[in-house]
């Protein structure tokens, strides 16, 4: 007993010593901030609130910018990509400015810097936190070698509408999955220590509700109830803050009538007080002055007033703070205490980054850009992100002796397969599918057929069909050019653009197996081609190593491991579409669904089917959230709960046996969903609360278990009370959100 007591006492003492050290560091940090703040003029304080920049293609460094830095009128810079310019501007800041305050250099490093990984929506399809963490760590190592220490990532906007161009940057539609990935992104970008020269400060964006824009139209209005905000849109941000994210970016959109950059409820009450965020908030590009166009501010002066009063620390590119803060202070529309607090937040992050001790990039350490390790991680990410949607008669994997015809506008486009937000990726290093087939001496021939994704010219169709008739299998590699997704690139029609569907249709007529590989920044509607082809592989925009990843998947060297992070629609008219919807008072069902073609001519006027559905598109998606095939099959059986009664004092262990009934070793992503059957407010039909990846050999069986606690059931009601009511819950374990394997329990 004494031994145990001594052991416990030792743990307590170690914890206490650690807390004391942390307290001393924090106290010293605040002392340093106050000492510096006391020396600063008002002009310098306002200067810290300014994020200025240049074009990354700039050939010269302007004297005007250097002078502003010299006068202490810039807090951070973006898009300065010339290393010599970075070094010179930082030298001016720490040697010539009044208080020697270092700059933070920033850049949009979204899914890789030089080595490009799959787009974030693709990374979400991996359902793999380690893959996400590795991708952001590689990005941080490469970008910091250029002096970049701040990235405007991760984007944590829950997205339920594939028409929205920025769904490409999203973690998908589910708050639980997004929260797991948010933590991984922040840990990867920021590393083990913020003061490490390779640490890249994360910026959780966009705060908040950008993905809820009406109609999937970028920059548009969002209407979000209190409970939706707290249950759906805030959790990924809260996860990022718990992981230590130091900055937040406001969104372009308005939420419930107030632009996010001027919303005090969001930026002060929720962000600072509720979520305890202690870093700083930066606007999106010109989003402060865009409040004028929103109709929320009369002019730039009022825009500055509203943004500062809301709690926005740093203004990106626009100059409303710089031009109006002093006058607003004189008019008592702002207080000096407000300005000081805003500057404190920025200085706190700069001290944490170690910039006052080590302001310069590490010139003595050569970072191997596109290193073999980085490329291998990018390839692994592309494999784990790729989702096999269809594989009729096991067309895939291919026989290496098969004669393959590769067709399509994205089969050999090194720039396009990198995807959106890849300013610094070099297409010379990109491995395309055609390049990989060549490198591996595959038995293939290549003809584009269409020269780019929107091409409507059919002049090469005859030649394509002639070659296809002599092949054993045709691989069509198409989708969207990179420019068709990302910011300001929303689409109303999300079919394959150009004449791609027509070419696929013609290929299908020659009665040879046809496999389609899609590179795109969003789900693509497949109704016009799905039944004409034998296999469909979604690789998103897979990045630098996409070609090698696709080759390995197609020939079975690796199996596709991705699962959908978003519900895949049949047609754009179903959008927004998401698995965790509400049931309605008249939920749709197979028994009651009425298709438009089955309505008799001259039918008596009635409420056809009396349920919530579209007459022409039904109520089910093309593919459910969490869906994805591999190269083997799994059987789920023997689903059991350790108890059917959950209380505050116990847990439920849910278990299920999973057997690989195929002929190959394979991986399965086992997913756990619950439903609160009746609550104080209506609850979703299903909610993801856990997942596990397992690998099984042929005929191997494994028991998979999940622990369920009361915390897994809690939610915010419309009074913002967090908790759960007693009652019945449904629980599912399966391969995707459409799983029918169900049990139930009661919370007492």
Per DSSP (E only), the strands in 290-386 are 315-316
Q: How many CB atoms lie within 10 A of CB 220?
A: 16
| CB distance 627 to 563 below 8 Å | yes
748 to 644, 650, 724: CA distances (angstroms): 10, 11, 10
Phi, then psi, of 65 in degrees rounded to 5: -65, -45
Measured over all CA atoms, what is the biggest interatomic distance in the chain, rounded to whole angstroms?
A: 89
Q: Considering 128, 161, 263, 284, which one is annotated as catalytic?
A: 284
What span, in angstroms and rounded, lies between the C-alpha atoms of 430 and 424? 12
CB proximity list for 228: less than 8 A, separation 6 or greater: none
Beta bridge partners of 222: 255
Instruction: Give the Cα separation of 598 and 39 in Å (integer).
Output: 79
284 is catalytic: yes
Tokens at residue 730, please?
A: 């449904």
| The pairing of beta strand 701-708 with beta strand 387-391 | unpaired
C-alpha distances in Å from residue 609, one per residue of 145, 409, 590, 591, 621: 62, 43, 10, 9, 19
Q: Are strands 514-519 and 535-538 parallel, antiparallel or unpaired?
A: parallel
According to DSSP, the β-strands at 247-250 and 203-207 are parallel
Q: Nearest to residue 282, comparing CAs of 293, 273, 271, 296? A: 271
Q: Which residue in 123, 173, 127 sits closest to 579, CA to CA? A: 173
Residue 378 to residue 141: CA distance in whole angstroms: 14
Question: Cα(160)–Cα(576) distance, rounded to whole angstroms?
Answer: 5
Residue 597 vs residues 266, 326, 529, 587, 618: alpha-carbon distances, Å? 48, 68, 20, 21, 12
Q: What is the DSSP letter of 544?
A: T
User: Residue 210: which of 161, 281, 246, 176 has the closest Cα?
Assistant: 161
| Helices marked H in 446-534 | 461-468, 500-508
C-alpha to C-alpha distance for 429 and 546, rounded to whole angstroms: 11
| N- to C-terminal Cα separation, the chain | 37
Backbone angles phi, psi at 157, to 5 degrees: -75, 120
Q: Cα-flanking dihedrals φ and ψ of residue 398, to 5°? A: -75, 150
Name the token pair of 297: 């501010």
Q: What are phi and psi of 205, to 5 degrees?
A: -140, 160
Nearest to 347 by CA among 566, 30, 20, 673: 30
User: Mind telling me the catalytic residues?
Assistant: 284
């Amino acid at each position: 007993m004494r031994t145990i007591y001594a052991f416990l006492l030792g743990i307590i003492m170690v914890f206490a010593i650690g807390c004391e050290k942390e307290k001393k560091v924090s106290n010293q940090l605040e002392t340093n901030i106050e000492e510096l703040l006391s020396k600063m003029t008002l002009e310098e304080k306002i200067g810290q609130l300014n994020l200025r920049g240049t074009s990354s293609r700039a050939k010269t460094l302007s004297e005007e910018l250097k002078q502003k830095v010299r006068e202490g009128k810039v807090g951070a810079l973006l898009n300065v990509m010339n290393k010599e310019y970075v070094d010179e501007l930082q030298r001016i800041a720490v040697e010539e400015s009044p208080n020697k305050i270092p700059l933070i250099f920033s850049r949009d490093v979204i899914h890789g810097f030089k080595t490009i990984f799959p787009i974030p929506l693709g990374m979400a399809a991996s359902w793999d936190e380690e893959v996400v963490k590795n991708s952001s760590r590689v990005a941080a190592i490469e970008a910091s070698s250029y002096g970049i220490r701040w990235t405007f990532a991760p984007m944590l906007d829950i997205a339920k509408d594939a028409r929205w161009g920025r769904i490409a940057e999203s973690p998908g539609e589910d708050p639980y999955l997004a929260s797991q990935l948010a933590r991984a992104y922040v840990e990867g970008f920021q590393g083990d220590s913020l003061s490490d020269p390779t640490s890249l400060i994360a910026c959780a964006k966009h705060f908040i509700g950008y993905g809820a824009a009406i109609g999937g139209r970028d920059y548009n209005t969002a209407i979000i109830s209190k409970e939706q905000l707290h249950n759906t849109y805030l959790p990924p941000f809260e996860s990022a803050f718990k992981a230590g994210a130091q900055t937040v970016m406001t969104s372009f959109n308005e939420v419930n009538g107030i632009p996010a950059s001027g919303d005090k409820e969001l930026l002060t009450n929720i962000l600072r007080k509720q979520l305890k965020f202690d870093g700083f908030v930066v606007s999106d590009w010109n989003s402060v002055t865009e409040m004028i166009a929103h109709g929320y501010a009369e002019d730039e002066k009022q825009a500055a007033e509203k943004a500062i009063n809301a709690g926005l620390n740093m203004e990106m590119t626009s100059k409303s703070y710089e031009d109006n803060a002093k006058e607003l202070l004189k008019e008592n529309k702002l207080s000096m205490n407000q300005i000081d607090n805003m500057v404190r937040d920025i200085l706190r992050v700069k001290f944490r980054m170690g910039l006052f001790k080590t302001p310069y990039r590490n010139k003595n350490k050569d970072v191997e850009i596109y290193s073999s390790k980085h490329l291998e991680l990018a390839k692994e990410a592309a494999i784990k992100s790729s989702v096999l949607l269809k594989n009729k008669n096991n067309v895939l994997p291919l026989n290496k002796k098969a004669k393959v015809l590769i067709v399509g506008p994205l089969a050999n486009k090194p720039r396009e397969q990198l995807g959106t937000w890849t300013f610094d990726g070099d297409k010379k290093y990109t491995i395309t599918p055609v390049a990989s087939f060549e490198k591996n001496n595959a038995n293939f021939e290549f003809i584009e057929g269409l020269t780019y994704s929107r091409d409507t010219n059919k002049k090469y169709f005859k030649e394509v069909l002639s070659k296809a008739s002599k092949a054993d299998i045709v691989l069509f590699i198409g989708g969207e050019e990179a420019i068709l997704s990302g910011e300001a690139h929303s689409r109303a029609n999300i079919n394959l653009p150009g004449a791609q569907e027509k070419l696929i249709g013609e290929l299908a007529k020659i009665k040879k197996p046809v496999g389609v590989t899609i590179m795109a920044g969003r789900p693509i509607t497949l109704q016009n081609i799905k039944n004409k082809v034998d296999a469909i592989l979604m690789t998103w925009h897979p990045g630098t190593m996409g070609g090698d990843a696709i080759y390995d998947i197609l020939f079975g060297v690796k199996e596709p491991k991705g699962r959908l992070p978003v519900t895949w629609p049949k047609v754009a008219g179903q959008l927004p579409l998401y698995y965790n919807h509400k049931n309605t008072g008249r939920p749709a069902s197979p028994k009651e669904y009425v298709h438009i073609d089955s309505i008799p001519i001259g039918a008596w006027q009635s409420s056809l089917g009396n349920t919530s559905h579209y007459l022409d598109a039904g109520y089910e998606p093309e593919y459910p959230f969490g869906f994805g095939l591999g190269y083997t099959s799994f059987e789920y059986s023997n689903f059991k709960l350790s108890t059917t009664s959950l209380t505050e004092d116990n847990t439920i262990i849910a278990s299920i046996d999973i057997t690989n009934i195929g002929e190959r070793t394979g991986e399965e992503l086992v997913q756990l969903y619950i439903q609160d059957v009746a609550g104080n407010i209506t609850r979703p039909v299903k909610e993801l609360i856990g997942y596990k990846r397992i690998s099984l050999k042929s005929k191997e069986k494994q028991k998979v278990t999940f622990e369920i606690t009361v915390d897994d059931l809690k939610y915010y009601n419309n009074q913002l009370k967090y908790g759960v009511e007693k009652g019945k819950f449904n629980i599912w374990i399966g391969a995707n959100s459409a799983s029918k394997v169900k049990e139930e329990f009661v919370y007492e």
